[in-house]
Each structure stands twice: as structure tokens, then as C-alpha cells.
Amino acid sequence: MGILQRLSSPRFAVGRLRLDRGVPSVSHLFRGGADQAGARLRAFVSGPLRRYRVARQRPEEGVVSHLAMYLHFGQISPINVALAARAAARAGRDNVAAFLEELIVRRELSANFVENTDAYDSFRAIPAWARVTLGAHASDPRRPCYTRAELERAATGDPYWNAAMREMRYTGYLHNQMRMYWGKKVLEWTSEPDAAHALALALNNRYLLDGRDPASYANVGWIFGLHDRPWPQRAIYGTVRSMAAAGLRRKSDIDAYVAGVDAAVAEARRHGVRYDDDDR
């Protein structure tokens, strides 16, 4: 292969990059490119957007845009997304407003956080009140306390958390409601809060297609108190907001979500998405 052929070959270019090749492709679900992004947008505004305000918080329903990864890689403009949502008259004003709040307000909040915060990717970026209260509870017993390997294998005693971890590994995606629960449990099950922050960010950025985005750093920060306020005192969390499985059961059909993840993992394996620890 000549030099010009090598330079124009995506396979050659990617082969020279230092990438984590332990995470398989999920191209049976998501393919990159502006055309794919446009198709996702059209499908969303013509259907799921009409139920977005309420159903977005129910992970089993899948009422989401699946545009975060395309926005992250610059394959679609947030302006085009916003204009398409505003033009979707049948979606209803409340649904459009809820979607635009996430697309614009929360996205800009994340970008401003990363742009204006030193060490935005470290525990030092967490507000002082949250670091103080988490530090005061750092010696609280963790029962259970899991290793990174156990977490990556989804080998915990929590079936809802395990489903979230498996969704991440086998689809490259995790519903926002489950992301928050997933991250809160990493904090709860890790021996030190700063280690929990580093671990949550590492797993987020390893497995999610929209990882390494400003929203990744802000969302993981929120788990530890960023852009939030103190809540009633609890073990391990101190006054940082906690989340419990009872809340998932109350607000969604969480068992239907788990069944959906099981089906998605089975489909992914049929397409060759496998890990070395699958049979352990």
C-alpha cells in the first residue's frame, strides 16, 4: 500500500492510534456519520419527542433521542437539533421545552464547567461542601465494597445496577436515569470518595460512546455533589444526595428495564460483542 493509500485508509489510520481495544464495536446498534445522525433526529422528533417530558425518566420506555454520541463527535449541530425539535408542532410545547432544556441549558452548563474549572476531571473540582461531608464519612463501613474488576463484570448483588453496567458494556449507551443510579452506587461501594470519582469517570469514559464529553465530567461530578445542594445526612454520602433501588421501583418498571437489557445483551452477543470475562 502506497503512502497516499495509507493516508486515505481509515483502517490504517485507526490502526496506528493508541486505543483501548478491549472494548468491542457496537456498530450493530450505532453507526457514525452525519447521515445516521440526521436519521436519528428525524425518528426522534416524529415519535418519542411527543412523550418526552414524562417518559424520559422511565428507562424501560426508551423515549430518548440517542443523539449524545453524534453531538459529542460533531456529526450533528445542536442548532439543527434544536430547530428540528421546535418545528415538531405535534410534539407539544411541554415536551419540546423539556428536551431543549437538556439540549441547551444542561449542555451549556457542562461546557462552562469544563471551560472554567481547573482539574475539571478530578475530585478537586467537586464543591468544597461536598468534599468535606464525603470526607467526614470516608471511614463509614462499605457493605458491600467491590473491586473495579467486579464492577466491570457486573458482579454485584444489585440486579438493577448490574443491568446498567451490562447496558454500558454491550451497547455503548446508558439511560440518563440509570447513569445517576449507577454512579451513586459506585460512590457507595468504593472505599474512598476520591477513588470512587476516578473509577466512575474511568468506566464512563471507557464504555460509553458519548464518554469524554463535557457532559461526562459534569454528570460524574453531579454524583458527588456538583451543581446540587446538601440533602439530609446519610451514612457514606453525608449530605450528598443518595439514590436507592426503591426509587427506581417507584418511578419506573425497573424489571422491564432489566429484561430489555438482557435482550439487548443477547442481541449484541449474536453480533459478536464479547469480552474476555464473559464466562467467568
Q: Tell me how far apart the alpha carbons of residues 125 and 221 are, in angstroms, rounded to a whole number.
A: 8
Beta bridge partners of 238: 234
- Final residue of a structural domain among 116, 134, 169: 116
CA distance 148 to 87: 45
128 and 98: one domain?
no
pLDDT single digits (tens) 151-179: 999 999 999 999 999 999 999 999 999 99
The answer on 149 and 70 residing in a single domain is no
pLDDT for position 1: 57
Amino acid found at 191:
S
Per residue, the 3-state secondary structure of 74-105, as one string, reads: CCCCHHHHHHHHHHCHHHCHHHHHHHHHHHHH
pLDDT above 90 as % of the chain: 90
Can you give the residue range of the structural domain that contains 98? Answer: 26-116
Cβ 225 vs Cβ 127: under 8 Å: yes
Nearest CA-CA partner of 187 in 230, 231, 236, 234: 236
What number is the average pLDDT over the span 48-62?
96
- On whether residue 15 sits in a domain, the answer given is no
In a domain, 112, yes or no: yes
pLDDT by residue (tens digit) across 94-111? 999 999 999 999 999 999
30 and 50 in a single domain? The answer is: yes
